[in-house]
Amino acid sequence: MGDEGSTEPFVAPEPAEALARLGMPMDEAMRTQRAVRRLHLEPVSHEVLLPLLELSLKAPTSSNTQDWMYLVVEDPAQKAELAKLYRRLYRLFNPIVQRQAEKAGDEAQLRGMRPGQWQAEHFEELPVFVIPCYTRNLKHSPVGRPQIKVASFYGSVFPAVQNLLLGCRAVGLGASLQTLPIWNVPRARRILGLPRSINPVCVIPIGWAKGNYGPTTRRPIGEVVHLDRYGNQPFLER
């Protein structure tokens, strides 16, 4: 896992061996989970994927509705359709971001963009896409007012998504949360055969990790925490 640059043929771990890695200390999993975009192209066994999906659903949902659904996409034709949809947008905006970074001489950003470029170019070859979906109803909706309906809708999906990302990290799978590949939701719905009442929320391409895990860099805690009221930041380092 995480052997970026290796030329050795990849051999996936046995499912039991991979699942035993779920005993990884929680802080290690949380510190090192990150968007791993370079993946080995070998298939991911259902014996590994299904337990991870099941564990991820220990997450909360608004009013405990559990109106979620996972679409697991492995069919090459379906993956090719999704790749086509993604690249229509990707080819529009990636050159703009790249030109800006080149103009600014931002080498770090240019380096950081490469795994995403690799992923976009190989999108249909990635082993499996997990597409978390949720059913809209009177209380939970991805659009409209009041805002709490929208929060309840997306808030019923992303806790499970994060559980899945952490599970993938622990067993040695690479995964990343992506919303852009389904930027055109009606089109994505048609590709996936979803009824109008069910919204796809994001796409999580998954495969055995070729790219590296973290530790990730995030803003310092003192900068993020406000105590009792906005602006009171006693944990800020002076």
Q: Which residues bind ligand FMN (CB under 6 A)?
A: 34-35, 116, 176-180, 216
| Residue tagged 């791993």 (tokens) | 36
Of the two residues 179 and 233, which places its CB atom closer to ligand FMN in the complex?
Answer: 179
Which tokens belong to 149? Answer: 């309906």
Q: How far apart are CA 126 and CA 80, in angstroms?
A: 10
Per-residue CA distances from 146 to 25, 72, 137, 159, 197 (Å): 40, 31, 13, 21, 19
Of the two residues 151 and 227, which places its CB atom closer to ligand FMN in the complex?
Answer: 151
Instruction: Tell the smallest beta-carbon distance from residue 36 to ligand FMN (Å).
Output: 8
Per-residue CA distances from 20 to 13, 14, 51, 86, 172 (Å): 11, 10, 11, 35, 11
| Residue tagged 């009177």 (tokens) | 138
Burial call 126-135: b when 16+ CB within 10 Å, e when fewer: bbbbbbbbbb
Q: How far apart are CA 69 and CA 133, in angstroms?
A: 5
Per-residue CA distances from 40 to 3, 48, 111, 126, 205 (Å): 10, 15, 20, 8, 11
Instruction: Tell the smallest beta-carbon distance from residue 227 to ligand FMN (Å).
Output: 26
Instruction: Tell the smallest beta-carbon distance from residue 157 to ligand FMN (Å).
Output: 10
Instruction: Tell the smallest beta-carbon distance from residue 176 to ligand FMN (Å).
Output: 6
Of the two residues 45 and 183, which places its CB atom closer to ligand FMN in the complex?
Answer: 183
Of the two residues 19 and 208, which places its CB atom closer to ligand FMN in the complex?
Answer: 208
Of the two residues 17 and 107, which places its CB atom closer to ligand FMN in the complex?
Answer: 107
Q: How far apart are CA 155 and CA 98, in angstroms?
A: 32
Which tokens belong to 178? Answer: 């992506």
Instruction: Tell the smallest beta-carbon distance from residue 115 to ligand FMN (Å).
Output: 8
Of the two residues 19 and 61, which places its CB atom closer to ligand FMN in the complex?
Answer: 61
Instruction: Tell the smallest beta-carbon distance from residue 34 to ligand FMN (Å).
Output: 3
Of the two residues 24 and 177, which places its CB atom closer to ligand FMN in the complex?
Answer: 177
Which residue type is seen at 64? N
Instruction: Tell the smallest beta-carbon distance from residue 136 to ligand FMN (Å).
Output: 18
